[in-house]
Amino acid sequence: MTYSASFRVLVAQARDLATGELMDLHHLVYALLQDSQAPWVAALESAGFPLERAKEMALARMGSIPSAEPGMTDELKRFLTEDIFAPLFVRGGEEVNPGHIILAFLEVPRLSHHWFAGLLKSTGLTGSRFLASVRGAGEEAETSQEAATPSKSSLASPPSGSSTSTPSPKPSTSNPSPTPSSSSSSSSKPLQEAWQRIAAQPLHLTGILAQIGSDLTAKAAEGKLSPALGREKEIAAMIRILARRENSSPLLVGEPGVGKTAIVEGLALRLVQGRVPQTLQGYRILSLDLNALVAGTIWRGQLEERIRQLLHQLRSLKRTICFIDEIHTLIQANQSSDVSLADNLKPFLARGEIRIIGATTPQELREYLEKDQALLRRFQEVKVEPPSPEATLRILEEAKARYERYHGVYFPPETLQAAVTLAARYLPTRHFPAKAFDILDEAAAKKKMEETHHATVRPEDLAEVLAERLRIPIDLGSKDERKRLLQLETLLKERVRGQDEALRALAQALKRARAGLKEPHKPIGSFFFMGPTGVGKTETAKALAEAYFQDPQALNVFNMAEYADDHDLWRLMGSARGYKESELGGTLTEAVRRKPFSVLLFDEIEKAHPKIYDIFLSILDEGRAEDGTGRIADFQHTIIIFTSNVSGSLPPDADLQNPEEYRKYAEESKVRLREHFRPEFINRLDAVILFRPLGRNELKVIAHLQLKKLQQKLAEKRMKVTFDDHLATWLLDQLEDLSFGARPLRRILQDQLETPLAEELFKHDLQPGTRIHIQLEKGQPVFRFRHPQGVVDPS
């Protein structure tokens, strides 16, 4: 007895269906039912057999035994070498035809419990009725004879090279028939449609999977997922890995917000649409929440039992890919349990019995997964980089309809472009596309709260939301910023006196930087303030923070005398992972993360350890630095200022108004600068700004400014203070040495005026509206108070 040519073609088609798995009876049954013109299919339909249901049941059972090597299950081998010949023994004949498959399921007792046999018998079919239906199907006599009646002649020889006599996929040349490829091609569209129907049907989840599982393909079929635009490369890499013989589990690695989950959802959408290779046709993606797996396990043994249930259910799922976001939680979940989910998954991953798509960040990959190389080598890494601003804009255009429907607002094109521009500039530490969506979402929510009717979200609304969040002024088109830069020198001179050349050089350097004449990733500006103590270097930094960022709190001061030892480096940048308090980060990196738009003042930089200068080389050059834990701090929106008391020496009677004497002072200061600092550090600065020593006239102006500040403080208490005309001169006379600059002047004002005044305020319980006059009597300040008749109206 031999196999007919048509039977060989049928087996070849079934083998094509079994790519990446062992061929089973399910594949053979599906191939048998696929040809709608075959007489056995017509006979089944005439008997009321549920053909489509049978094909879906066969599809659902495929993929149960993944295998990298082609082959057959033992059950199929027994069917092809024993069961298929039973009808021939009963009715006679020498050749096996496709119709004998149905006869075998109807008449062989061993197969009576098979699902296909049960479905056949549920329609009342028997072997005799099936043969009668075939003969009456109206097909050609020769076809009917071959399909239902055993032929007397040998149309094909037994397969060669097989001790078990399993059919060969090649048809006999003596009886030409359609090749497997042509037959498979002709039926590929119905097969693809059937897979799509299977993938679109939601999984019936029970037990622990019902608590932690979510069917992404079902959501895609319901239209709840969007395509992953611009991620064709990553999706193709995932498909390629999923089709591998070994290590067929992809691991998506990318920063938070780059779209790792969206890529998996894009694959789920392709599965439903049938836009995947035949190997993955009919597969589903099941998302697992491992945090829900651990939640509520307070008693010993609860987590272990859940893990056992989960593994048992995952093994029973057919044609299913698991997606685990934040897959590093596999390691974290093991820390308080005797049963390791990661360790139990390894053998299933190694044998390809479970396919998993994992997603994690580079930090978690280093901290958790790289410590378990046995688990990590079961995955193939797929790097997910943030999309470009152009790609992000296309993503926003695709997704804007969903946000418009949700919020009841409208996003014009210029708003989407503004979201990308503002996110790129003002949220440098976050990643596209999430940060652009974040701005749009919050602005839409705010707009809807303000306007109940259909509102339009403008770029100004996005800027307002960002300004509130970051507590900085947001400039659209940089008009306000240009105005501030034009007025910057004037604003600084109102606060700092006697340093006109230094302030002019600072303002010009900032204008050059913001005019686009610098690398975009570098800091806004980097400056070295040098000069003797008390001449206004620190005050200039304070004034710059308030004038440029319009925020007096936008100043971070680092006293570099506190970083004089080499081991102080970890305090600035954070200790390496594994060391004590490594999770706290460094004082510098954390300050930049908390306030990315700020002035960074490194006071008395010459007192820092030389190793610390190496950090500033990368910051000044690249505009970024990595802390001890591997996190990146972005400095591109900061203004960096180094101050130093290193400067040229001056004789007591020096007159810096004399150009020649000032030139000598400047030259000597430059020489001393080169002696103390390396050239590679100095060359990375935008400008070295020399502050001249203050003379008596400049100090007198500063004394007037200090008295004006005292007036402002008392005005806040609704008290008015006036001064004797000679009080500023008297303050200046109290200075023992003018070379110490203006800093001692502040201390004298505090001791001689503010402290006695505070005592008078408490002693006399002075009320708002009190007028205070400070005058000199016998060389000492005296306070005169004029009490109001009643409470003065603040207006």
The band of 649, judged by pLDDT with boundaries at 50, 70 and 90, is low
The band of 558, judged by pLDDT with boundaries at 50, 70 and 90, is very high
Return the pLDDT at 338: 55
Rounded CA separation 459/443 (Å): 9
> Backbone dihedral region of 307: left (phi > 0), alpha (psi from -120 to 50 degrees) or beta?
alpha
- Between the two ends of the chain, the Cα-to-Cα distance in Å is 114
Q: What is the mean pLDDT of residues 118-136?
A: 81
Return the pLDDT at 602: 95
Residue that wins the pLDDT comparison between 118 and 19: 118
* pLDDT(352) > 50: yes
The band of 118, judged by pLDDT with boundaries at 50, 70 and 90, is confident
CB 417 within 8 A of CB 463: no
DSSP secondary structure, 437-458, as one string: HHHHHHHHHHHHHH-SS-EE--
CATH 1.10.8.60 for domain 696-786: yes
* pLDDT(575) > 80: no
Architecture of domain 479-690: 3-Layer(aba) Sandwich (3.40)
Return the pLDDT at 199: 53
Tens of pLDDT along 270-312? 888 888 887 888 888 999 988 888 777 777 677 778 888 888 8
Residue that wins the pLDDT comparison between 183 and 346: 346
Architecture of domain 2-186: Orthogonal Bundle (1.10)
The domain ranges of the chain are 2-186, 193-383, 389-470, 479-690, 696-786
CB 23 within 8 A of CB 110: no
* pLDDT(357) > 90: yes
Return the pLDDT at 63: 60
The band of 763, judged by pLDDT with boundaries at 50, 70 and 90, is confident
CATH 3.40.50.410 for domain 193-383: no
Tens of pLDDT along 594-614? 888 899 999 999 999 988 888
Return the pLDDT at 729: 80
Contacts 24+ apart (CB under 8 A), 580-587: 582/628, 582/629, 583/629, 585/627, 585/628, 585/629, 585/631, 586/627, 586/628, 587/558
Beta bridge partners, 603, equal 559
Residue 414 corresponds to which tokens in the numbers above? 């210029």
Domain 389-470: CATH class, spelled out: mainly alpha
**Phi, psi (degrees; rounded to nearest 5) at 253:** -120, 115
DSSP state of 92: -
